[in-house]
Amino acid sequence: MPSLAESFNEVMAVEGVRVAALVDIATGMIVRSAGEPAGDFPAAAASMAGEARAARTMLGPGRTGGGDLDEIAVATSGRLLLSTVLSPRFGEGLLLFVDLDRARVNMALASLQIGRLAAGILA
């Protein structure tokens, strides 16, 4: 079967992408990754999984104006972290967690491109 790492090739080809990873929302575990993660990447991934859990609790279905969580974007002066929610047939979901070079990307375009590719990651 094709590996997740192979599926990451397209994500890694998006302009500005430094690292891509699949993160288990329930545990913060990095399931697979591509690129060269910096030392803080596992902590950032676990933190993002925690954010996703918290966002679901506070903004999920049943909350006023709430709904299914689609994406979390965090931007610093140097980095753009995009986390797109994937919904496999088990568990609490996965994040396609992508670390981009802020100076090289248009935030809206990057979000659109990665969102389109995310759908095929679990296929």
Partner 1 sequence: MVCAVSGTSGVLRITGDPGGTIHLADGLVTAVETTGAPGPEVLLLRSRRVTESRWDAAFAAAAARGRPLSAELVAREMVGAGELEALLLTAMADAIFVLASGTVDEYRAEPGPSDGGLALEPGADPAGLLAEASRRIKVLMSVPSPPADRRERLVAAPGAVRPGVRLGAGQDEILALADGRRTTRDLAFALGRGVYATTLRLAEMHAAGLLVPASASTASRSARQAGRPAARARQESGDELPRRKGLTGRAVLPRRASAARTPRGLLRPRSNRDDNPG
Backbone angles phi, psi at 71, to 5 degrees: -155, 150
Does 22 help bind partner 1 (rule: CB under 8 A)?
yes
Rounded CA-CA distance 41/19 in Å is: 9
Distance CA 54, CA 101 (A): 26
* CA 43 remoteness from chain centre: 14
Asked if 5 contacts 19 with a C-beta cutoff of 8 angstroms, the reply is no
**Minimum distance, C-beta of residue 103 to partner 1, in the bound complex (Å):** 31
Q: Supply the minimum distance, in Å, between the C-beta of residue 62 and partner 1.
A: 5
**Range in contact with partner 1 (rule: CB under 8 A) among 13-21, 50-58, 71-79, 102-110:** 50-58
Interface mask toward partner 1 for 55-74; x: CB under 8 A: -xx--xxxx-----------
Name the minimum Å distance from CB 25 to partner 1: 9
Residue 121 is a binding residue for partner 1 (CB under 8 A): yes
Residue among 13 and 31 whose Cβ is closer to partner 1: 31
Which residues of the chain form contacts with partner 1 (CB under 8 A)? 1-4, 7, 22, 24, 26-29, 31-32, 42, 46, 53, 56-57, 60-63, 88-92, 94, 121-123
